[in-house]
Amino acid sequence: MMNKTSATLMLQTIMVLMEKQNASDVTNFPGSYGEDIERCYGIYGCFSKAYPWTENRPDNYFPVPPEAMGVRYPTFSRRNRKIPVLLEADNVDKIQNANIDPRGPFYVISHGFIDGGHKKWEVLGLSNLDNFHFIGHSLGAHLGGYCGHALQKKYNLKLGRITGLDPAAPYFSKTVTLVRLDRSDAKYVDVIHSNAVPLYFSGFGITEPIGHVDFYPNGGSTQPGCKSASQQRPSGDIYQQVLRVSCNHERSYEYFTESIAPSCPFLAVQCDSYDTFLAGNCTTCDHKHLCVPMGYHSHDIYKRLHAAELVDTNSNVALYLMTGGAKPYCRAHYEVKMKVSNSSESHTHGPETGKLSITLVDRNNNKSDTRFLDDEQKYYKPGDIETRMVAVKDTGHPPLSVIVEWKYETNLFNPMTWRILKSPSIFIDYMKISSIEYNTDITVCPKMNKPVVANLPTMMKTKYCKFNK
């Protein structure tokens, strides 16, 4: 485990790998008398303390000398999967003799705030960098941006891809593109936002879309399975506090790792906002709502969309999806449209307050996990139509039937929840279940128009809908 200076060390590492900015790139505002605003470090170039590096960034320090950092470049290949070759940034011979196949592909992984990697780029004699994929978490995501910018400026080479895993927000949010990762740094930039909330709410990730595609799993701010800040035990050790609240921040690289060989498509849908997505307003993959798998395989789909002129490399696509709270995280998405019966029996029974849950059953009788349509109890009255997006573990096939349960809780202070002469139940006319991943939909109904009684699972099938006609 790294010590408590790791955050400062990482910031300094990033600064060391910045490229010297020429007069057209920076405005050199004079500092105080006798203050130098530029410092040089041999092959690493010179680093400025002038605009824009100091705009909205109170820390105004030069990087420490490279030899004081102990930066390492462990390199793995098919020939050395377990024991890496340790490259040296200024040792060209060692890089050329590292058994690296120039045909690629190449993956460079850069750590974030409390983790630990980087590698020299330009000595392999490559005509292009299409086969290079830089994967950076947190501060490492912006390091990828610096590398992409420097390669274009110094060698006229453009990286094939940069993946930003919850790029760091402090001192990077709301800055000019030169200071942070942006889509000009590579031919394809994809970003996974998992902790995009302000730092004072224990958020470390950047909020704004900065790539060609930006994924916002579960809204992009907090992730299921991670405790909220209010649930954390207080501690006087700030390092331990960072570790506890970093669950949401670290979930981005866990999603990416799973996306290499996912248990389901990890499909994300273009939508105006996460709330709009949850409301079931973006449930079809079409020209208005593009669908791209989150993570490793997103580039292949993006290239197809670009070839079909459905995306513009100068603009951004924001996509949303839901995940589970434990591995495997991937989930299948369903739009659920439910109508409360408008029958005389339903009117006689009257409105109900409670929660509806569904369990999907496929052709092999495999059941998904059970999901509530709403987290809190909801007031339903005859004739109401509700539409929600839910995500469940994929069974491998689209559903054919649905198990519905009505959860009812009495609240002493809410007369609407009191039941004395009638049993807690709800009359459901139908449920329409539409799959995004499978592009299928079914409509199911309760048998003989019977109500769904509290805590009594009710099987709803398509063939039962004929009784409602």
As a three-state string, the secondary structure of 339-379 is EECCCHHHHHHCCEEEEEEEEEEECCCCECCCEECCCCCEE
State yes or no: pLDDT of 32 exceeds 50: no
How high is the pLDDT of residue 420?
55
Sign of the four-CA dihedral 88, 93, 95, 97: negative
Phi and psi (nearest 5°) for 45?
90, -165
Catalytic one among 138, 194, 368, 435? Answer: 138
Higher pLDDT, residue 261 or 3: 261
How high is the pLDDT of residue 291?
97
How high is the pLDDT of residue 104?
81
Higher pLDDT, residue 422 or 156: 156
Catalytic one among 111, 133, 166, 190? Answer: 166
- DSSP letter at 310? -
Answer yes or no: 249 catalytic. Answer: yes
Rounded Cα distance between 405 and 454, Å, is: 7
Answer yes or no: 166 catalytic. Answer: yes
What confidence category does residue 228 fall into, taking pLDDT thresholds of 50, 70 and 90?
Answer: low
Answer yes or no: 300 catalytic. Answer: no
pLDDT, tens digit (0-9, with 9 covering 90-100), for 100-152: 888 888 888 887 755 554 433 337 455 677 889 999 999 999 999 999 999 99
Sign of the four-CA dihedral 100, 141, 271, 400: positive
pLDDT, tens digit (0-9, with 9 covering 90-100), for 178-200: 999 999 999 999 999 999 987 76
Question: In 77-128, which ranges are E strands?
Answer: 85-87, 106-110
Rounded Cα distance between 270 and 292, Å, is: 8
Catalytic one among 193, 249, 299, 333? Answer: 249
| Domains assigned to the chain | 6-321 (3.40.50.1820), 332-468 (2.60.60.20)
Structure token digits, residue 315: 């603009």
Q: At 150, which amino acid appears?
A: A
Range in 10-19, 81-90, 325-334 with the lowest mean pLDDT: 10-19
State yes or no: pLDDT of 82 exceeds 90: no
Rounded Cα distance between 74 and 169, Å, is: 27
Rounded Cα distance between 295 and 260, Å, is: 7
Range in 172-176, 212-216, 257-261 with the lowest mean pLDDT: 172-176
Q: Of the candidates 141, 91, 92, which has an alpha carbon nearest to the alpha carbon of residue 112? A: 141
How would you classify the pairing of strands 106-110 and 129-137?
A: parallel
